[in-house]
Amino acid sequence: MLMSYETSLELLKAHLKPYEKVEKVALTQCLGRILAQDIKALKNYPEFPISAMDGYALKFDEQDKPLRVLGVTPAGKMPEFKVESGTCVKTFTGSLMSEGSDTLVPVENVELKDGQIYIKEAVKKGFAVRKVGESYQKDELLLVRGTKLDYSEIALLAELGFFHISVFVRPVVGVLSSGSEIKDLGESLENPAQIRSSNHIALANLAQKLGCEARVFPLLKDEEKLTQSTLENALKTCDILITTGGVSMGDFDFLKKAVRAYEIIIDKVDIKPGRHIKIAQFEEKFILALPGFPYSAMVMFNLYAREILNAWLLQKKDYILHAFLEQDYIKKSPYLEFVACNVELKEGRVCVNLKGKKEGSSAIINNLNNKAALMIVPKECEKVQKGTLVDIILMP
């Protein structure tokens, strides 16, 4: 009896340990990296009231009379003047507000004559003044460990004064494709029985999209003696080793035997595609032996390698959504199915359809084109009717 998908995930998670590889990286090199520390504010920001516009700093309740301009406070300079009754200070965007002032009147609301301003249009109290702690207050938690650093988060770190920041070391994902019938990029096909390998390209790109360093190994031919040593050597430099091909029931599926030299966690799962998947563990490293068909390999990477990386890099599993199916779907197997589908937003609803998706084997790469998602079709049902709310998995 095949293991259920849910049980396989539970087993996998039970074997995962915290990922503790951390490095310091310059802020200019942090785009897309995963933060390995919590970030708290060391002080209020701003520390003092700051002008948000060019104008005049004054007392709110004195806008109905002429005010003498004491001087100017440029940005980056400490204020030299104290605002008292009947006075104001010309103040520029980003400048500290002068002592005694509580409001800023924009220059366009003012007429300047003989060193005095006459306010043509009054403003409310505190107008155009950034309050102390407006952005964040001392000890406020700003970024949590596991945050993926994008342009805004990096800008915040720069504002906080960081030059280097602690991030998780990119896990190394190795890709080892096998099969005497496959040829590498640039190699000629010698006969119609041969095909060009695409798995190593697809899986390396998926690994990079998930924040990993991808390491592609030379293609492995179906030779039993060579398979075990190649597997051992590849595993030395990886956190996760992905193999494709050689795990089903063929006479030349030597990878299946080689993987069994390690602790097998998962051996076949009640799913389509990819039911012949095997996952083994060596110390804190994992071997994911995936089927050789490209569509199957990419789906399995998303279902299992992504699960490991989520746990290691503290990523939320926020890519499973509900969507409305726009057509009937007849199940093709007795297993839990993951079906490529198109995702569209229509009138505020997430909808999926199978337009342009070809029926056939798990070799159809183009079924995952155009940002396709995976529709989860339960094992128990035989047909999913149009209008049903289904679960979908967004691909990276």
The pLDDT of residue 254 is 62
At 14, list the tokens. Answer: 């039970």
CA distances to 89, 180, 378 from 267, in Å: 76, 24, 21
Percent of the chain topping pLDDT 70: 96
The pLDDT of residue 260 is 81
* Alpha carbon distance 147, 153 (integer Å): 9
The rounded radius of gyration (Å) of the Cα atoms in the chain is 31
Burial of 303 (0-12, 13-18, 19+ CB in 10 A): buried
pLDDT higher at 352 or 257? 352
Q: Closest Cα to residue 79, out of 53, 109, 100?
A: 100
Burial 103-138 (b: 16+ CB within 10 A, else e): bbbeeebbeeeeeebebeeebeeebbbbeeeeebee
Burial of 33 (0-12, 13-18, 19+ CB in 10 A): buried
Using one digit for the tens of pLDDT, what is the confidence trace for 372-386? 999 999 999 999 999
Is the per-residue pLDDT at 253 higher than 70? no
State the chain's mean pLDDT as an integer. 93
At 3, list the tokens. Answer: 């293991």
Is the per-residue pLDDT at 257 higher than 90? no
* Alpha carbon distance 383, 385 (integer Å): 6
Using one digit for the tens of pLDDT, what is the confidence trace for 65-123? 999 999 999 999 999 999 999 999 999 999 999 999 999 999 999 999 999 999 999 99
pLDDT higher at 318 or 184? 318
> In this structure, how many other beta carbons lie within 10 angstroms of the beta carbon of residue 264?
14
CA distances to 58, 98, 128 from 51, in Å: 11, 10, 6
Which residue type occupies 131?
A: K
* Alpha carbon distance 318, 337 (integer Å): 20
- For 14-26, what is the mean pLDDT? 97
Using one digit for the tens of pLDDT, what is the confidence trace for 206-243? 999 999 999 999 888 767 778 888 889 999 999 999 99
